[in-house]
């Protein structure tokens, strides 16, 4: 990727972006040439999307996480882990609890599945997906869904999302009149070695409906929002929010804004190019819904 200097030089580079729609179709696009508008004279970036046709019978009932790992794309349904092979979603393993709108993360050869609607559990599965829980994990303190589960240096950071419990009387005064909106969900950090969670008491942005995250060095760029795109930066090393915009957040924001062109957007992730056998014979090319 070409270097640019809107505020400071950066070596941050995007890879291939994958977008999953609610009917199970997946689109991919090489984002390595994308720059922030501040350094690109506000020119239009026209993405070259490749559609991966999937089985017509697969329909997502809820927003499901999408993640790249082991040279495959994976998604989490209500009760199963599915992988994309030969242009079709295929069951890999049945989960032991309902995981609608859960968050997922790969650490080494282990897949972690956390949270989801009305639960705060954490489970893990080895690469061969034997279906057995690898260990007994402590649950999160706060049940949450549509959040980011970010692995870093032996830890898992649960950031943002919708809180799945009713707000307590202590927090009701923070709600807007007439709206039943709980306060922001605190960041929780899981230590893999000791099987323990801790809660970070940090003031910061209200991170809701997380679409994806990217990690560059020690910083996680969290993409969230509904009809608009917002990017928040969290330093995983110092465990602090990083205010303001920079070269990296400008790239991430512009990349993520491309998802607004998908009317049935479900989830997205970033990773290296997929092997050829992922696409089968059903791949098609096009400019995608919109340029940004």
The confidence score (pLDDT) of residue 168 equals 41
Asked whether residue 236 is domain-assigned, the answer is yes
CA dihedral 252, 258, 260, 263 (to 10 degrees): -140
pLDDT in tens, 175-190: 444 455 667 889 999 9
Q: Which residues contact 32 (CB under 8 A, 6 or more apart)?
A: 1, 13, 14, 15
Query: Per residue in 10-55, pLDDT tens?
Result: 678 899 999 988 777 889 999 988 876 655 666 678 888 998 866 5
**pLDDT above 90: residue 283:** no
The tokens for 210 are 């997380």
> Token match 């993640």: residue?
67
Q: Which tokens in the block code for residue 285? A: 């090319």
Rounded Cα gap, residues 142 and 276, in angstroms: 40
- Under DSSP, the state recorded for 116 is -
pLDDT digits (tens, 9 = 90+) for 90-135: 888 888 777 778 899 999 989 999 998 878 899 888 887 776 666 7
Query: What pLDDT is attached to residue 138?
Result: 94
CA distance 100 to 116: 5
CA–CA gap between residue 237 and residue 219 (Å, rounded): 8
pLDDT at 284: 44
Domain for residue 114, yes or no? yes
Integer Cα distance of 101 and 78 in angstroms: 8
Q: In the chain, which ranges are continuous DSSP H helix?
A: 169-172, 247-257
More confident residue, 276 or 258: 258
197-246 tens-digit pLDDT = 999 999 999 998 898 999 999 999 999 987 788 999 999 999 999 998 88
- Cα-Cα-Cα-Cα torsion 256, 207, 190, 114, nearest 10 degrees, comes to -70
Of the candidates 8, 14, 75, the residue with the CA atom closest to the CA atom of residue 255: 14
pLDDT mean over 57-74: 75
* pLDDT tens digits, one per residue of 130-164: 766 667 699 999 999 899 999 999 999 999 998 87
Contact 268, 189 (CB under 8 A): no
Give the number of domains in the chain: 1
What gap in Å lies between CA 257 and CA 223, rounded to an integer?
10
Is 7 domain-assigned? no
CATH of the domain at 142: 2.120.10.80
Residue 31 resides in a domain: yes
Structure confidence at residue 23 (pLDDT)? 77
**Do the domain assignments include residue 260?**
yes
Q: Indicate whether 9 belongs to any domain.
A: no
Domain that holds residue 147: 16-286
Query: Distance (Å, rounded) from C-alpha 166 to C-alpha 182?
Result: 7
Residue 96 lies in a domain: yes
Asked, for residue 273, whether it belongs to a domain, the answer is yes
Please give the mean pLDDT across all residues of the chain: 80
pLDDT value of position 63: 63
């Amino acid at each position: 990727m070409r270097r640019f200097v809107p505020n400071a030089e950066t070596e941050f580079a995007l890879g291939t972006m994958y977008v999953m729609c609610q009917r199970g179709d997946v689109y991919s696009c090489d984002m390595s040439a994308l720059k922030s508008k501040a350094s690109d004279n506000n020119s239009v970036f026209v993405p070259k999307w490749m559609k991966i046709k999937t089985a017509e019978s697969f329909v997502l009932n809820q927003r499901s996480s999408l993640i790249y790992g082991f040279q495959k794309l994976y998604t989490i349904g209500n009760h199963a882990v599915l992988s994309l092979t030969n242009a079709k979603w295929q069951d890999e393993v049945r989960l032991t609890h309902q995981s609608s709108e859960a968050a997922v993360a790969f650490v080494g050869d282990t897949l972690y599945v956390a949270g989801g609607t009305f639960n705060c559990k954490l489970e893990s599965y080895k690469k061969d997906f034997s279906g057995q829980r690898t260990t007994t994990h402590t649950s999160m303190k706060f049940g949450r869904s549509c959040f980011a589960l970010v692995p870093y240096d032996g830890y898992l950071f649960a950031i943002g999302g919708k809180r799945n419990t009713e707000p307590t009387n202590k927090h009701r005064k923070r709600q807007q009149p007439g709206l039943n909106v709980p306060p922001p969900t605190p960041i929780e950090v899981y230590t893999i070695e000791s099987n323990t969670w801790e809660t970070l008491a940090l003031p910061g942005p209200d991170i809701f409906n997380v679409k994806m995250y990217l990690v560059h060095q020690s910083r996680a760029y969290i993409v969230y929002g509904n009809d608009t795109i917002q990017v928040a930066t969290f330093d995983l090393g110092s465990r602090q929010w990083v205010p303001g915009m920079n070269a990296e957040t400008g790239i991430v924001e512009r990349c993520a804004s491309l998802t607004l062109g998908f009317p049935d957007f479900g989830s997205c992730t970033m990773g290296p190019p997929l092997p050829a056998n992922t696409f089968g014979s059903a791949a098609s090319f096009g400019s995608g819904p919109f340029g940004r």
